[in-house]
Every structure is written in structure tokens, then in C-alpha cells.
Amino acid sequence: MTIFARFEDENIKIKGAVFEARRRFLYGSFKTKSLEDKGEHEMTEIYDTTLRDGAQTENISFSVRDKLKIAWRLKEFGIPFVEGGWPSANPKDTEFFQKAVATDLKDVLVAFGSTFHPKSRNAGDDKGLKALILSGAKAVAIFGKTWDFHVSDALRIPLEENLRIIFESVKFLKSRLEKVFFDAEHFFDGYKANPGYALECLKAAERAGADTIILCDTNGGALPAEVESVFRDIKRVGVSVALGIHAHNDCELAVANSLAAVKAGAIQVQGTINGLGERCGNANLVSIIPTLELKLGEKCLPPEKLNELRETSLFISEVANVAHSKRQAYVGDSAFAHKAGMHVSAVNRNPETYEHINPASVGNKRRILVSDLSGRSNILRKAGEIGMKLEEKSPRVQAILDEIKSLENQGYAFEAADASFELLVKKAFGFYQPFFELVSSRIVNSKNGGLSRNEATVMLRVGEREEHTAGKGDGPINAVDEALRKALERYYPILKKVRLVDYKVTVLSEIEGTSAKVRVLIESESDGERWTTIGVSTDVIEASRQALIDGIEYFLLKKDVKALI
């Protein structure tokens, strides 16, 4: 008998009860501590280090203004600890703390630093520790060496001296600040090499009053079973202070290691939004938070905040000026995208057939893709999304499906161009009247003194009127876009709000060389709304022109405007 059958036999009808029973069957008692043992830690603490670790990502550089925007967003999202950076380490972080602590950000702000430098001889003389206090943050996190190899080869000091440095650094800060976190750097490597000494480092921080000790997989080489085992070992030998986890993603296991640590009793998880970080990145909080909340019953955000997850993830990508991953778990555009006809048919009946959670719970949405793998279900569902109710047995539905498969065979990809698909369906069902007709166009490219010049002329018809205009651009496509806009904005002034935000060209057959077909995708935007259109041809100019015209017509159709004639 299956677990689900046993649920039915026991008359467990309430969905929440089924979830809890299933969770306990699969995972057992997830936390080693009961709620009574947790004390103040009734929620798993989320500690964000996007502003420090995330800033170490290759090709990312946050300005002070960027850091302030991100910090505010994280606070509004409900993150209780936002690590702002290393005050005094660089002018940018120093300025950030000066501005942040003068606002309500102070409530969540954490300053980062290290144990005092051996040359300082004692905590009170160390400039770094003093800078942490002067930062104005209510909480600080300092890292210290716990791997004997690093102590002897990097610091080049006796092992006992490192224990004194950890103890005195934590004690000095704790006597002056509300909360002190100790990051046990390279702990898992240190524990494997010399478990006795690694534990002594933790006990030194515990005796000095550290509020939480965070075990760091600094090199990102630990495995989930290892992490869980080490956490349980530490509890057995009498380290009673609250523990946390800081995992790096060098083995693509940072999320799994973080979850294993929580299972073994960690109350704090450190990571970054979208997994930003040095090398392969840090533990991705965008995956960890919903897994804890939705899969394992561990609360880590204030109520009603989880549905802001995708919005927060997108915001960080925007500020960091990096593309948002379509395939990112929970929040990516493709996370709940369905392409195969059989899948779509099942999802139409019950989304749980191919979705592990409700997309709306994390602020995402279901997407039905249309391609040569589509069936009638895809067409019907997609048409429904754009407000068209089609009869399942209508011959036009099959005609559209056949046309899409034919076009995809030629190189079109409607899954990536929803706007072009919508135009195709509305044209097929007679819900479309052309806004203009392109009569002719020409592009002239010339060089003068090494400088390239592009000029496009277009002749088009709006109603009974003809327009003949020219446009100049940095390239031929830009020139065509300018010429089209000049001709059309007189009749459709609303087009002044539209801008081209992305342009992609894909060669569809490399072996055919310069005679190969190309696929052009153009993304346009107006007032925060974006749409993508497509064109395919052996001529890149023609393919681009198709996509440009589709983008303009889609916008005018959406706005239901009439020409000013």
C-alpha cells in the first residue's frame, strides 16, 4: 500500500495535514531541536550576504546607490540580517555604512570583518575591529581561522595564539555590540584535517559570547551527508551555542548543504540572492527560502512575503545588470513553463500533474509554450491567456497548429516570441486589422573616412495615405527602426513610448555559412511591459524588419488605438 493510500485509509482529508504527514514520512523529524529547545529561534534565520559575497561575482560591481537600493529591497522582503560589507576595507563600503545607519536599515544591517590581525597583538588595538564598532551596525560578523593548515601557513602563528585571537576578538565586540556572529572559515576542511583543533576554535568563540557560530564551507567542496554528520558531531561534543551554515557552490551543492545543515539543527542560513558570489557563487537563497517554507515547514520569512520572491530575484538581477536565469528554480521564466502537448493537456486538468508547487506562491506564473511539440491543448490554453475562447474541435485550431509546426520547421520559435504568436492567432480568427502596410524599403550603407553610415528609407501606407521617410542609425536595423517610427508616430503618437531593449540573432545552420537562415528576436518595452517578436529569413535585414513590424503592430493592437488621419 502506498503512503498516499494510507493517508486515505486514515481519513486524513485536510491538505495541510496530508502535507505534514507526508513530510514526516519522507524526512522524519526535520529539526533535531524541538520548539521548546529553540528558545528565541522559532524561525530559521536568513542572513543575506549579496552586498559583500555577491559583490565579489565576476563582472559585477555595485555602486553605493546600488547597495542601498538592494538593502532596502531585502529589508522590505523580510530578511532579518543584511550584511552590508566590510567597513574601512574600501571607501565604497565605508560610505555605504555611513548612509545606511542613518536610516531604518540599521535594524537589519550587519558589518563584516575579521578577527584582529596578529600584528595588533590585542583586540583593543586593532583598527579593523574598531571600524566594525564605529560602523554603527547593531550586529557584526567576523571570520576566524579554524583550519590548522591556514593558521600555520597563512597566518604563520602558533595554534594556541589563534585560539586567543578568536576569543579576544569576539569578547571585545560582544562587550560593545548587541549581536556578534562568528564565521568559522574553512571549517569543514579544518574538521577533516584536525577535528580536535577545529572544535577548540568553536569553543573559544562560544566562551567569548558569540551569539551564533556559522560553519563555513569556504572552498565549496563539502557533501550534504558530510555537512549533516559534522553538525551532529558538534552538538554531541557539547557545543551548545546556536549554529549556522555558510556554503559555497563549487560542487553545485550549496543549497543541498544548507538544507542538510538545517536538518541537523542549524538555525541560520547564509547565502545570496540568485546565488551570486565568487567563483561558482554562494548558496542561493532564492532556492533555499521556498524549499524551507513550502517543502519542510520551516518558517523563515514574515507572513505573506514569500510571494514577493520572484520580484525580489528580478530586482537584484536588474540592479546587478546581469540577465535573470530563465531556468532558475522557483522564479525563472521557465520554472513553470510547459511545452509538450501531453503535459499541457494534463496541466489544464490539474496543475499538480506537472508542477511541484503553485507558481503564485513564489510570485511566478504558469506559462504555456507553443512549438512544433504542441498539441491542441497548447493552442487552446495559450489563446485563453490572451482572452480568446476557442472551440476545441474547431478546424481553425488544427490549422493554426499545422501552421505553427510548419513555421517552426522553417526556424521560427514561438515559445520565445509570445507577441508574434498572439498576432498569428488573431489574424487566423479575424480579430486583427492591419494598422499600416509597408510598401517598400531600402537600406544604404556607405563609408566616409573610415566611418560607416547607415540610412534607411521606407514607404508605407496608413489608410489611404502614403508616407515616405528616411532614418539614420548606428547600424542598418537601427536605421530601419528610426525610419518606421518617423513615418508612424505622426499617426500613432503612442509609439513614442516604445523602446527596443534587446536584439538577438541566431544562425540556424552553421554549415550553410553566409547563405544560412537567421532567426531574429526583438524585445520591446513600454511603461514596464515587455514583449518579444520574431522574424526568420536568409536575409538578416528582412528577418529584423519582420520582428520590428510585429513588435509595433502588437503594441498598437494591445492599446487598441486608432490612426490620427
Q: What is the pLDDT of residue 89?
A: 83
Instruction: Return the minimum-mean-pLDDT range out of 227-231, 282-286, 415-419.
Output: 415-419
Mean pLDDT of 144-165: 95
Length of the chain: 565
293, burial (CB in 10 Å: exposed 0-12, middle 13-18, buried 19+): buried
Q: Looking at beta carbons, which pairs linking 101-104 to residues 24 or more positions away fall under 8 Å? A: 101/135, 101/136, 101/137, 104/75
What's this model's pTM, rounded to 2 decimal places?
0.71
Sign of CA pseudo-dihedral 155, 222, 271, 303: negative
8 pLDDT above the threshold of 50: no
Written as nine digits, the cell of 89 is 576595507
pLDDT at residue 342 is higher than 80? no
Which stretches within 292-359 are classed as H helix?
Answer: 309-320, 341-349
**Which CATH class for the 437-559 domain?**
alpha beta
pLDDT per residue as tens digits for the range 48-66: 999 999 999 999 999 999 9
> Cα(337)–Cα(541) distance, rounded to whole angstroms?
31
What superfamily does domain 40-302 belong to in CATH? Aldolase class I (3.20.20.70)
- The CA distance from 113 to 129, in Å, is 7
For residue 108, which of 97, 119, 95 has the smallest C-alpha distance? 97
CA-CA distance, 497 to 391, in Å (whole number)?
36
Q: Report the share of the chain in percent with pLDDT over 70.
A: 85
Residue 38: is its pLDDT beyond 50?
no
Confidence of residue 39 (pLDDT cuts 50, 70, 90): very low
Partners of residue 112 on adjacent β-strands? 141
Q: How far apart are CA 477 and CA 474, in angstroms?
A: 8
Neighbours of 156 (CB within 10 A): 8
Whether 85 contacts 67, CB under 8 Å? yes
- Tens of pLDDT, residue by residue over 66-110, are 999 999 999 999 999 999 999 988 899 999 999 999 999 999 999
**pLDDT tens figures, 376-395:** 666 676 666 666 676 667 77
pLDDT (tens digit per residue) in 240-274: 999 999 999 999 999 999 999 999 999 999 999 99
Q: pLDDT tens digits for 183-208?
A: 999 999 999 999 999 999 999 999 99
> Would you give the distance in Å from CA 375 to the centre of its chain?
31
In the chain, the largest separation of any two C-alpha atoms, in whole Å, equals 91
Q: Which residue has the cell 486515505?
A: 8
Are 522 and 548 in contact by the 8 Å Cβ rule? The answer is yes
Cα–Cα distance, 386 to 398 (Å, whole number)? 18
Predicted confidence at residue 280, as pLDDT, reads: 98
When pLDDT is cut at 50, 70 and 90, the band that residue 6 belongs to is: very low
Domain spans in the chain, listed from the N-terminal domain onward:
1-30, 40-302, 337-428, 437-559
Please count the other Cβ atoms lying within 10 Å of the Cβ belonging to residue 302: 12
pLDDT for 369: 63
Q: For residue 133, which phi and psi values (nearest 5 degrees)?
A: -65, -45
